[in-house]
Chain A
């Protein structure tokens, strides 16, 4: 089975540029999560969707960040304009209807560097 697929794997761009990260969840999964990992803050949840609808975006750092899920098989996380402090590894994860005991499946992440 294909797992969660993220693209690109690596992104290097200059400050001020728009960055778009992409995620394809596992087929049939109805929850999708975006996480960010930094040395200082560890792994933190940014936003998650259920049936393509954003449920909790309290972790989104500021208005420069936006996430969409236009259909069940695709989601994007956009940063505009990007700043050096946005440099991190961004993970996407998916799971099926959860009752606290369904595992989340993570992609391999996108390593983002903002110069």
Chain B
């Protein structure tokens, strides 16, 4: 079955960097677009970034454009999110999610990881 497992979260000071990873299994990773979505404590969902199955195309939310970088290593079935110049408002649970496959094709999310908490605080 499909498994997405995020790692790399923790407490980081404002202005510093952090890289999240998402290990994928149970499906053909090289065929799937992948996303990062975050959720501040007690608040709603915010889409952050997408990367095409082959890494050729990336889109970002305005809130993270220029500070966050999405990437993938298809040889290791792993998705990454490099986060630079972190701010207090970046504090959230970060989820990786797969673009829908099969009948549900496109930029909806049919599988999600369990999330990893990033806390930006001095």
Q: Do A and B bind each other?
A: no
Enumerate chain B interface residues (CB-CB to A < 8 A): none
